[in-house]
Each structure stands twice: as C-alpha cells, then as structure tokens.
Homo-oligomer: A and B are copies of this chain.
Amino acid sequence: MIGKLNHVAIAVPNVAAAAAVYRGALGATVSEATPQPDHGVTTVFVELPNTKIELLEPLGDNSPIAKFLEKNPSGGMHHVCYEVEDIYAARDRLKAEGARVLGDGEPKIGAHGKPVLFLHPKDFCGTLVEIEQV
C-alpha cells in the first residue's frame, strides 16, 4: 500500500540555524524558510535526490510541534510521511488492521496542499506516521 517516503520531518528550535547546518556542513540544497501559519510551523525543505527532509520550527501559539520541542529542546526526528494513492482506502485498511488514526479520522489538507492523515505512534513502533495522498 504505502509508496515512496515523501519526507522525514525534523523539528528544530531554530529553522534558520538548522538550514545553515544542512547547507554548510552537509552541503545540501536547502529552500528558503516559509511560514505556514495555517499549520503552525515554519518550514525549510532539504532537497535530496530521492526524497526530502522537512525542517520544522514552531510558529504561533498552538504549534503542533511545540510539545515535542519542550521534550526535545535541541530538536529531533518528528515523523515520517509515506505516500498513498487513495487516502480513504488507506485509512480503511489501517483501521481494519487495528491502527489508530489521529484526530476525527477525516483527511485534512497538509502543508503541501494534499490530503493527509496522521497515525498513532504507539501502533507504529513509536514513530509518528503521516500518510499523504499524491
């Protein structure tokens, strides 16, 4: 069912500093920082030949990554995102297999403008999983 790894998201306290590390020490191609107020994050994309890394800094008062950064003040890997062809079919399969879908179970429009769902980390080896219909 799952297709490509769309991205690995890394939460960071300061996206400009993180971008400088990826651009400098790691010599990667890094986008400009983009505030995404609807999603409570500022994003920087690290473009790799086969996938991307998303660096996320909290934005605003209700950022979905604020609690994670309280626990991990230096930052850390926050979630992985797998592509699916049909998000409703994926959701129904996951639920039938006993996996918990977060929120009300209805896909939301994610930071890339496409429908996404998040899955409970406890059902996926301690890893927060996002699925995105592409």
Q: What residues make up the interface of A, taking CB atoms closer than 8 Å to B?
A: 1-5, 8, 10, 12, 18, 21, 24-28, 48-51, 53, 55, 72, 74-77, 80, 82, 93-94, 97-99, 121-127, 129
A5-B50, A49-B3, A77-B80 as given contacts; A72 in contact with B28, CB under 8 Å: no
A21-B125, A76-B125 as given contacts; A26 in contact with B1, CB under 8 Å: yes
Given contacts A8-B8, A76-B77, 8 further A-B contacts (CB under 8 A): A1-B28, A10-B125, A12-B125, A25-B94, A25-B123, A51-B51, A55-B125, A77-B127
Q: Which residues of B contact A51 (CB under 8 A)?
A: 4-5, 50-51
